[in-house]
Amino acid sequence: MTADVRALDVPGARLTYEVRGTGPLLLLMGSPMGAAYFADVADALADGRTVVTHDPRGIARSTVDDPAQDSTPELRAADVAALLDALRAPVADVLGSSGGAVTALALAEHHPGRVRTLVAHEPPLLGLLPDAASHHARTELVIETFHEHGVAAAWGAFAGAAGWEDDAEGPPVVEDDEGFARDSARFFAHELRGTTTWLPDVAALRAGAQRVVVGVGQESGELETAATSAALAALLGVEVTSFPGEHGGFMEQPAAFAERLAAVLDA
């Protein structure tokens, strides 16, 4: 499906976002993952829904006025609220994955009434874990590794800390992929710490969204984000909802992931 690519000026940044389909509004978001990572699952969901994806500020096609500005969940949530305003949408369903799940949770907290069903897919809320201090320390080591040794080494350290012990090299790095290197640098320098240290306000979260679903990949096993998701679900008093694939199930199995998400939203 061809996406309608649009741009929106927000305080301190210019966002690029894509709109597909018609029907009830559904936002899909990641962090640091931009719209391209959700293209396949967005296509699969656009039959019967208006699906909106975007590049978070400073990522991919979205620019930021101050490159040294940290990307916090609250700041990204304000950007999403501005997107809803631009779409003239008072409320929407939201699927956020990884750091995007933290953005979505912050959206419900700080912009109450804008979220109908919030699906938080594997949010890395390290502060909810009983051994939070050790997890935060590993995050700081990842950031230190980036500053001392660069993107590739940082992704390796990140993969090990997150639980991909059999994939210590992290995701593949294309040497001439300047965009991936730039986005990775922003993630490690200005986004990772703020995202993983953010903690939800349970009362505000319950009041801000009509329904909150906590999703975990069927294959996520011992990943750090499987544990944080279970902790969030326990905090909210809800059951964990299973989704196809691993942490990136929306990329690995987009058709199955879309089918599962549609069923959850329609429930």
Q: Which domain, by its residues, includes 12?
A: 4-128+198-266
Q: Quick check: is 97 in a domain?
A: yes
On whether the CB atoms of residues 131 and 104 are closer than 8 A, the answer is no
Confirm whether 156 is domain-assigned. Answer: no
Whether 188 shows a pLDDT value over 90: the answer reads: yes
- For 55-83, the pLDDT digits (tens) are 999 999 999 999 999 999 999 999 999 99
Give how many domains the chain has, as a whole number.
1
Q: Has residue 179 been placed in a domain?
A: no
| Across 208-225, average pLDDT | 96
CA–CA distance, 221 with 72 (Å, rounded to integer): 28
Residue 102 falls inside a structural domain: yes
Q: Is residue 193 part of a domain?
A: no
CA distance 251 to 246: 9
| pLDDT for residue 157 | 95
Coil, helix or strand at residue 263: helix
Reported pTM: 0.95
80 is a domain residue: yes
Sign, CA dihedral 227-52-261-91, equals positive
- Nearest C-alpha neighbor of 118 from the set 39, 206, 36: 206
What CATH number should be reported for the domain holding residue 29?
3.40.50.1820
Q: How confident is the model at residue 34 (pLDDT cuts 50, 70, 90)?
A: very high
Residue with tokens 């897919």: 121
Mean pLDDT of 46-61: 97
Does 174 or 94 have the greater pLDDT score? 94
Q: Tell me, yes or no, whether 215 lies in a domain.
A: yes
Give domain status of residue 165, yes or no.
no
Name residue, tokens 């890395």: 124
